[in-house]
Structure 1
Amino acid sequence: MADTPTPRLSAGLVMLMATATGVAVASNYYAQPLLPTIAAQLGISNASAGSIVTAAQVGYALGLMLLVPLADLFERRKLIVSMTLLSAAGLLLTALASGITQVLIGTVLTGLFSVVAQILLPFAATLAAPDQRGRVVGNVMSGLLLGILLARTIAGYFSSLGGWQTVYWFGAGMMVVTALALGRALPHHPQSPGLGYPRLLVSTLTLFVEEPVLRVRALLGAVVFCVFSMLWTSLSFLLAAAPYHYSDRSIGLFGLVGAAGALAAAPVGRWADRGKAGHVTSMGLGLLLLSWLPLAAAQTSVVALLVGVLVLDLTAQAIHVMNLSVINQLRPDASNRLTACYMSCYFIGGASGSVLSTFVYARAGWTGVSLAGALLSAIAMLAWRAGNTIQLARNGIVERN
């Protein structure tokens, strides 16, 4: 894999790749603000509706483990276009669903192939000049994070127009258009790691064993995304109940507040280029823990809720961008496998957060969710301090405090 600048990575191509990652990953989050409506229309419990979010993240985690490493084996443009179209097929299946089983199958398929976003991200890093890699990763991550957060707003809007399935028709169409655009714009980029698929998967696990920085960052990412998922999975239930009684459209608008956090991605990438990974991570984890103070008051104060959502999203996304910037420096010839390792842990954490949030909210309400989120944020701080203490001396170039 080349580590030199290339004229193929124009500003327009970076924008397209950022948009494509956002469109792809958004397909996994359309359901979150619609969970109460889906539960009512399909005649299922809120806990069963919450399994849709878990199914999306399980499918995504499987795709990260089984499909993302293929980008180190096959020509990337064809792989990216094919996976984008297959993800669109999963959205169509959900749009046509008449029961929870079909919704779950379509959701898993969509999640499985929407990991194309995690192939586009290291592809952009590969094409970038070394001294601009962090900035490019930050820009592409901005698109991805905006996709995650604005998906809620888009879903709420389309649900108010034509029912909860309308957004899935829209999403499928967007994925097809994106596939066509990527097919025309992406450069041809063959891969030849000299490994067959089974050995490629084994080498992915080997990287996890051999790279201590990867292990620390993967654990950190898993816990942070678990906290992020806890907030957004249970938020729709909080806002649909007393005293708010918000509609799907109003609940979706909270995604606009969270989207402000995605704007942190680009400058954070520049800080990574300047060797500020340790500082940003430490500060971010402290703010992540503090964000649960206003969130704990969200049952009675919408202002406290807005402040907590903004701070939590901004810090969670900043830490995530920093993690990716750091691991992309480790082995440029294995960027997709490194990404697969990290993102597998990341989305396993997210799936765990969705399950935990649904379980805790059903038994202890929003107060229980707030306490669990604060506890996990504290665990993330302890894990970072312990891991950084052990590894900083060995990896001073990558992890500078």
Structure 2
Amino acid sequence: MLFAVICAVAVATIYVAQPVLAEIGGDLGLPEADLGWIVTTGQLGYLIGLALLVPLGDMFDRRKLIATHLLLAAVGMALAAVADQLWLLLAGLAIAGLFAVVVQTTVAFAADLSTPAERGRTLGAVTSGVITGILGARVLAGSLAALWGWRSIYGLLAVLLIALTCFVLRLLPSDPRDVRATYGAVLISLGRLFRERLFVSRGLIAFFLFASFGVLWSGLALPLEAEPWHLSTAQIGLFGIAGLAGALGASRAGRGADAGRANVVTGGALALLAASWLATAQASWSLWAVVVGVIVLDFAVQAVHVSNQHLLTAAYPHQKSSVIGGYMLFYSLGSAVGATGTTAAYSAAGWTGSSLLGAAFALCALMIWAVNRQAATDARTNSKVRVSATARSAGHTPGLCDRR
């Protein structure tokens, strides 16, 4: 639960600005053209952190690393809360985005603390916090901004991050490292992952998966604000609750991965993802169809995300932080492409165009899965061999996971 809450709060620091951009712009006197930088700055910081900070988890005590990153993210949120000029706001958001990659260090730590037989269930529970943070941030931001203004959102997140720092230091076990590799060597090992078929195929699946996700959540407000619905921002935010229901429903997808069905779960969920767009495309005709589509899409996204991370952490047991950080680079790029593509498609062909784009991304992910099914099967077999060999050399039963 602590790991899931860390993920939810940390990832919320990147997404809470989206529902209140207009209010921030009006308070700071910003032209509409500059508002995009408020969201982009945090995402750019996050992208840099994925490449440069997450690999540190393979070198240092992850309890201390998580606590440090949470505290520094709190500093960024505090700066954003008191900012009276654009440059100070952007500086705070950049710092918070950079250290929001504590999410990936947390996921890697959770995977390392789990036995192989329970890793999928653990990842499902922890990564549910990520989706909760992304979607819940929209609902929370709108409500708090209506009551106390947009600064209250960043102030609350700063307080939560400081509180989580204390909980981490008090409740999590120490994580001593016996790694002699230099930082440069760790970065080089991350680069080598991009030559591995399993890593690249799962990364490409994540790219198209979150591009489809981005098409929905960055573009859904457009048809809901238009005729015949004319919904308010607060009403549109409530659709995030449907997304949360779907994502949390898929938190148990890790059990299928634990049972050796991670690849099957991935394929089935990607098929559901493509099918969900048949319902979501009806946004101009039926709100209930949209609710069904949102639930199915978020269920599918979470199921694939958990299965991907389960396969990768099992295949690269000594590079958990690096492999998750590298994998999430694909996630970030896919989200950005989806967010950009949906507005262009909507302006050209309305919500039908956006829906076709989202479905196309889903089908691309399904095609990559189909072409690379054997790579995942081979990786699972190899990881079983490694676990058995390690257990025999240690003189105890396979399935137990020793801390390094």
TM-score, structure 1 length as denominator?
0.88
Which of 167, 190, 193 is 1:204 aligned to?
190
Cα deviation, residue 399, structure 1: 10
Cα deviation, residue 219, structure 1: 0.8
Matches within 5 A, 1:95-244: 95-98=81-84, 100-209=86-195, 211-244=196-229
Q: Which runs of 5+ in 2 are unaligned?
A: 385-404
The answer as to 2:44 corresponding to 1:58 is yes
The answer as to 2:354 corresponding to 1:369 is yes
1-structure distance, mates of 2:90, 2:350: 25
TM-score, structure 2 length as denominator?
0.88
Q: Which has the higher contact order (CA 8 A, sep 6+)?
A: 1
2-structure distance, mates of 1:156, 1:237: 17
Give 1:378's aligned amino acid.
Answer: L
How many pairs align? Answer: 383
Partner of 1:10: none
1-structure distance, mates of 2:37, 2:371: 34
% identity of equivalent residues: 41
1-structure distance, mates of 2:59, 2:100: 18
Partner of 2:400: none
Which of 52, 55, 62 is 1:69 aligned to?
55
Indicate how the Cα distance of structure 1 residues 138 and 398 shifts in structure 2: closer, same or farther if over 3 A, else same. farther
3-state secondary structure, aligned to 1:333: coil
Partner of 2:248: 263
3-state secondary structure, aligned to 1:187: coil
Which of 6, 11, 20 is 1:34 aligned to?
20
2-structure distance, mates of 1:233, 1:51: 15
Post-superposition Cα deviations, 1:98-149, rounded to whole Å, max 9, x if no partner, equal 4555444333321110110111111011111221111111111122221222
Matches within 5 A, 1:307-322: 307-322=292-307
1-structure distance, mates of 2:343, 2:34: 9
Q: Which runs of 5+ in 1 are unaligned?
A: 1-14
Give 1:175's aligned amino acid.
Answer: L
Let me know the Cα RMSD of the aligned residues: 2.3
Partner of 1:397: 381
**Runs ≥4 residues deviating over 6 A:** none
Q: Which moved more, 1:293-302 or 1:97-106?
A: 97-106
Indicate how the Cα distance of structure 1 residues 127 and 180 shifts in structure 2: closer, same or farther if over 3 A, else same. same
Give 2:324's aligned amino acid.
Answer: T
Tell me if the contact between 1:160 and 1:248 (Cα under 8 Å) persists in the aligned partners.
Answer: no
Partner of 1:292: 277
2-structure distance, mates of 1:363, 1:43: 28
Post-superposition Cα deviations, 1:155-198, rounded to whole Å, max 9, x if no partner, equal 11112112233212211111111111112111111223211111
Structure (1 or 2) with the larger CA radius of gyration:
2
3-state secondary structure, aligned to 1:298: helix
1-structure distance, mates of 2:296, 2:81: 34
Indicate how the Cα distance of structure 1 residues 147 and 227 shifts in structure 2: closer, same or farther if over 3 A, else same. same
The answer as to 2:313 corresponding to 1:328 is yes
Partner of 1:20: 6
Give 1:377's aligned amino acid.
Answer: A
